[in-house]
């Protein structure tokens, strides 16, 4: 059996992190190396899916919950304006193969973060 992901270890309290919101099936943390003034990660509480493509095919309701939680934390922490990014695969910069969404906000500009 593989080791639990860093996100599962955070949820278990094994790795310190600031959990800013949580539902029955997902949680949001503040990124330790932010790429924007507001950079939160929204993560399902399951390791069943390696990326958002698998999640969308396997559990669309959970994907909707992740997006809803992203919207909620963005409203609270970024004034409601945000970019939602899912990295899928190693060439997209995903190093932790577990579904997670990046909520980026707080003064993003047209040229920030590549676009």
3-state secondary structure 77-115: HCCCCEEEEECCCHHHCCCCCCCCEEEEECCCCCCHHHC
Q: Is 100 a catalytic residue?
A: yes
Query: Using one digit for the tens of pLDDT, what is the confidence trace for 35-80?
Result: 889 999 999 999 899 889 999 999 999 999 999 999 999 999 998 8
Q: Which of 39, 77, 100, 102 is catalytic?
A: 100
Q: What pTM was estimated for this model as a whole?
A: 0.85
């Amino acid at each position: 059996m593989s080791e639990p992901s860093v996100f599962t270890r955070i949820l278990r309290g094994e790795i310190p992190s600031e959990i800013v919101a949580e539902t029955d099936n997902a949680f949001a943390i503040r990124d330790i190396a932010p790429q924007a003034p507001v950079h939160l990660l929204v993560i399902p509480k399951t390791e069943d899916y390696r990326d958002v493509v698998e999640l969308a095919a396997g559990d669309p309701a959970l994907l909707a919950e992740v997006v809803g939680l992203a919207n909620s934390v963005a409203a609270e922490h970024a004034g409601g304006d945000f970019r939602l990014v899912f990295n899928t695969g190693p060439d997209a910069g995903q190093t932790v193969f577990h579904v997670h969404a990046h909520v980026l906000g707080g003064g993003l500009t047209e040229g920030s973060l590549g676009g």
